[in-house]
C-alpha cells in the first residue's frame, strides 16, 4: 500500500478501530490515504475530523472543497488525490471527465456560483504564492459576500491539501479507487 507499514482494518484496535468504523460507515471502505495515518492515530483522528468538517461546513459547499482538493493536488502532482477527487466530482456532482479537464485547465470553468468561484481562485492563488495575497484580494472576496471565516476555511483546506499531497506522494500511497 505504501512505503511505510500501516494498520489494516482487520488488525485495528482502540482509537484506530473506532476511526476506521466511522469512516467505513460513511464511505463503505477505508481509503488508503486515511489508512496511511494509522501510523499516528492522533494525526489520523485530526485528518478524519477535518474531512467531517468540510463535508458538513455550514456555509461552503462540499463541491467547493472537492474542487479545491482537485486543483491543489493537480499542482502538487498527487495522482492519488487528483483521481480520488475527480471520482467524487463525477459520482457525487455529475461532472464529466471533459468538464473536469476544463476545470484543471482553468479554475474559472468550475461549476460554482460567483462567490464560491472567487474563493476557489483565491485559494489557488494563495497556495501558489501565499505572499501574493493582498488586502485587495480579501476585500474583493468580501464584496462577493464571503465572510472572513469562509476565506480562512477555504485557504486552510488548500494549505492542508498541500501537506496531504506531500505525504501521499512521498510514501507512494497506492490508488484504491476506480
pLDDT band of 44, cuts 50, 70, 90? very high
pLDDT computed for residue 176 by the predictor: 82
Residue bearing cell 466530482: 89
Residue 178 has pLDDT above 60, yes or no: no
**CA-CA-CA-CA dihedral for 108, 111, 116, 118, to nearest 10:** 10
Q: At how many degrees (to 10) do helices 41-55 and 62-76 cross?
A: 130
Does 155 score more than 90 pLDDT? yes
Q: What is the pLDDT of residues 135-152, one digit of tens each?
A: 999 999 999 999 999 999
> Is 57 in contact with 146 (CB distance < 8 Å)?
no
- Here the contacts of 2-5 (C-beta below 8 Å, separation 24 or greater) are 2/32, 2/36, 2/171, 2/172, 2/173, 2/174, 3/170, 3/171, 3/172, 4/36, 4/39, 4/171, 5/39
Nearest Cα neighbor of 157 from 80, 81, 106, 96 is 81
Residue-level pLDDT at 22: 94
Q: What percent of the chain has pLDDT over 90?
A: 93
Q: Who has greater pLDDT, 72 or 29? A: 72
Q: What is the pLDDT of residues 74-123, one digit of tens each?
A: 999 999 999 999 999 999 999 999 999 999 999 999 999 999 999 999 99
The secondary structure of 160-173 as a DSSP string is HHHHHHHHHHHTTP
Averaged pLDDT of the chain: 95
Is residue 153 predicted with pLDDT exceeding 90?
A: yes
pLDDT of residue 174: 92
Tell me how far apart the alpha carbons of residues 37 and 49 are, in angstroms, rounded to a whole number: 13
Where residue 27 falls among pLDDT bands split at 50, 70, 90? confident
Amino acid at each position: 500500500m505504501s512505503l511505510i507499514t500501516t494498520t489494516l482494518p482487520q488488525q485495528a484496535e482502540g482509537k484506530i478501530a473506532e476511526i476506521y468504523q466511522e469512516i467505513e460507515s460513511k464511505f463503505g471502505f477505508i481509503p488508503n490515504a486515511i489508512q496511511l495515518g494509522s501510523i499516528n492515530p492522533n494525526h489520523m483522528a485530526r485528518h478524519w475530523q477535518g474531512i467531517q468538517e468540510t463535508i458538513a461546513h455550514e456555509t461552503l459547499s462540499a463541491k467547493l472543497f472537492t474542487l479545491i482538493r482537485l486543483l491543489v493536488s493537480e499542482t502538487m502532482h498527487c495522482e492519488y488525490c487528483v483521481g480520488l477527487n475527480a471520482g467524487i466530482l463525477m459520482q457525487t456532482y455529475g461532472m464529466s471527465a471533459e468538464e473536469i479537464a476544463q476545470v484543471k485547465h482553468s479554475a474559472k470553468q468550475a461549476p460554482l456560483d460567483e462567490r464560491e468561484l472567487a474563493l476557489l481562485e483565491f485559494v489557488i492563488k494563495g497556495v501558489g504564492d501565499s505572499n501574493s495575497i493582498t488586502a485587495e484580494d480579501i476585500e474583493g472576496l468580501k464584496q462577493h459576500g464571503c465572510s472572513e471565516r469562509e476565506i480562512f476555511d477555504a485557504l486552510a483546506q488548500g494549505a492542508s491539501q498541500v501537506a496531504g499531497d506531500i505525504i501521499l506522494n512521498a510514501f507512494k500511497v497506492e490508488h484504491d479507487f476506480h
